[in-house]
Structure 1
């Protein structure tokens, strides 16, 4: 009986902690409210299953507790019960995965009008590259990374000469305009994460990953690395500021090109 009561208290305490806890999502500042909805749905399904399982265990502890003169009945199989459990588990897993698949399909389906920003992760610094006047990012290769070319931009590609390079500085984005983040690492695994955008993606050396986002609220937000990348992982932080289009254009005009940095 003691353990049955403990099980019930665990369920009640877990529910109370969830609804009364001061911990919630950071304020949403992008179009990815879908992520919040999917997370809440997942919590709801797993919370109901957790409560049902624990309460069932508590019931069994009470219902089948030891009593003098009673003998346990051994039943090695119950195909009907196994069938119900398998079916309910499958329904629960499908209910959790299906919304995520639809959200993921949208997450990587970049709108045609989206601008591009390349994010380069390196121990332990965030750098950025934006297209110049030609609107095209030049080629880049990690094998070209060196003391005077820390982002590995190809000096042989004319399209890269007017690319705007921000090394370790603040990134600005215009409000209400979709932007595609092209993610590249020059050393180890990193993960580009802005909590208020509800968007994150691993950065894999030798590959370019991507996602897109539309900032919907002006302000300054912290960029974090969400993948353990070495002793300085916790210090790998940056800032992205969402501003009006006029402020963004003014900031853009003050950035240096790859050609400027190469001279």
Structure 2
């Protein structure tokens, strides 16, 4: 009797939880209502079967419970019952599969007017490529992949010269226009998933998979990798922003084409020397850094990273948080650089400065730090040398006191909280694995040995 009561309560509780639970589908932001309908049908069919089976088991436990003097009868088969079970099971399975087949037919039939976007996944980043004015994407091949050509675009293909490149986890799309996603992975299995858009598709190395949807409302939606792709899987996040057509076009026009990126002139170190005079007051004439001025070492740091941080300061994505005291000091300094050319020039000059190793100021348990650093190494490199492909700066030989402060800022939300600081948000997730300053100190003590 007790088991029968438990079965009844389990069935009743499951039904009530389904209807009363605050956790359900996220509000849809695309055309795929059919997917929700298919899932709802599956819930109804499996729910009815679950309640029926649980109810039958409870009834059987009560009806055929042991009684003194009672005897069980053995019935090896019942063709009538088996026939009914076969018919009911067939109808139930068909009710679940048929709608899915109809929806799948829509999934694989992409509208002819759909715009095309290539999504490229790499541990643990997202980037995007859009056709240029010719409306065609250029061909790609792994042998062309490099820091200067991360998409692996064939430089001899004329269709690739005007391809628009978005080397950022954020992709913007116009509302109301169908979008076909060409999904490509550069390393391991990934999965492109946006809950509100009802899009989820695996990305397989060596293959190009695809999916499509029509965004129906503006907004910002989280992009997640829902395939276990390595130690940094949890931080592989991006953002899909659906804009009005005018705002989308403005964003698109700010992005470089492959030809523009390839022909971009390097910064002028001579012009940058004059601009660096302002920086030298804090960071030192040789870019060696100055603890007393809270200015980290610059010499030896990757040019791409320095340029990005200077732009972040100029845009207000860094140095605007109330608790970021030293970031606020840096923001007006970055504002003295008038444009991207000035940024490239001063970074070019920094590239000529000596890469002198600075003295370590952090003490910690090196062995513990070595184990903790395994997660960091996945992006920053085994030796902390920095990896442009994963947008991870150099750590080796840099100012450890500065890194300690930044790790604390990431953990406390001082850095990485700004909507435009997409890589900072990713780093904040990883920094959260370090419980306190002592844990961070152990990692930095190990980095100091590299």
TM range (shorter): over 0.9
Aligned to 1:262, the other structure's residue is in SS state helix
Alignment of 1:11 with 2:17, yes or no, is no
Q: Please, which runs of 5 or more residues in structure 1 have no aligned partner?
A: none
Q: Does structure 2 retain, via aligned residues, the 8 Å contact 1:222–1:239? A: yes
CA distance in 1, matches of 2:83, 2:147: 63
Q: Residue 199 of structure 2 corresponds to which residue in structure 1? A: 199
Once the two structures are TM-superposed, the CA of residue 192 in structure 1 deviates from its matched residue by 0.5
Q: Residue 157 of structure 1 corresponds to which residue in structure 2? A: 157
Aligned to 2:68, the other structure's residue is in SS state coil
Q: Residue 84 of structure 1 corresponds to which residue in structure 2? A: 84
CA distance in 2, matches of 1:52, 1:218: 43
Q: What is the TM-score with the length of structure 1 in the denominator?
A: 0.98
The 5 Å alignment of 1:37-186 reads 37-186=37-186
CA distance in 2, matches of 1:69, 1:51: 32
Q: Residue 362 of structure 2 corresponds to which residue in structure 1? A: none
Q: Residue 211 of structure 1 corresponds to which residue in structure 2? A: 211
Q: Does structure 2 retain, via aligned residues, the 8 Å contact 1:30–1:198? A: yes
CA distance in 2, matches of 1:145, 1:74: 71
Q: Residue 36 of structure 1 corresponds to which residue in structure 2? A: 36
Q: Does structure 1 retain, via aligned residues, the 8 Å contact 2:127–2:167? A: yes
The Cα offsets for residues 110-158 of structure 1, whole Å up to 9 and x where unpaired, read as 1111110000011000010000111110001234322322221111211
Aligned to 1:240, the other structure's residue is in SS state strand
Aligned to 1:154, the other structure's residue is in SS state coil
Alignment of 1:229 with 2:229, yes or no, is yes
Q: Please, which runs of 5 or more residues in structure 2 have no aligned partner?
A: 264-450
Q: Does structure 2 retain, via aligned residues, the 8 Å contact 1:142–1:206? A: no
The Cα offsets for residues 167-226 of structure 1, whole Å up to 9 and x where unpaired, read as 124111000011101101111111101110011111111111111111000011110111
1 or 2 for the larger relative contact order (CA 8 Å, sep ≥6)?
Answer: 1
Q: Residue 257 of structure 2 corresponds to which residue in structure 1? A: 257
CA distance in 2, matches of 1:146, 1:2: 67
Larger radius of gyration: 2
Alignment of 1:240 with 2:235, yes or no, is no
CA distance in 2, matches of 1:141, 1:190: 19
Q: Does structure 2 retain, via aligned residues, the 8 Å contact 1:170–1:239? A: yes
RMSD: 1.0
Q: Does structure 2 retain, via aligned residues, the 8 Å contact 1:177–1:214? A: yes
Q: Does structure 1 retain, via aligned residues, the 8 Å contact 2:131–2:163? A: yes
CA distance in 2, matches of 1:176, 1:223: 19
Q: Does structure 2 retain, via aligned residues, the 8 Å contact 1:117–1:129? A: yes
Aligned to 1:221, the other structure's residue is in SS state strand
CA distance in 2, matches of 1:89, 1:101: 18
Structure whose residues are more often strand by fraction: 1
CA distance in 1, matches of 2:227, 2:198: 16
Q: Does structure 1 retain, via aligned residues, the 8 Å contact 2:222–2:240? A: yes
CA distance in 2, matches of 1:56, 1:169: 52
Q: Does structure 1 retain, via aligned residues, the 8 Å contact 2:169–2:237? A: no
Structure whose residues are more often helix by fraction: 2
Q: Does structure 2 retain, via aligned residues, the 8 Å contact 1:120–1:185? A: yes
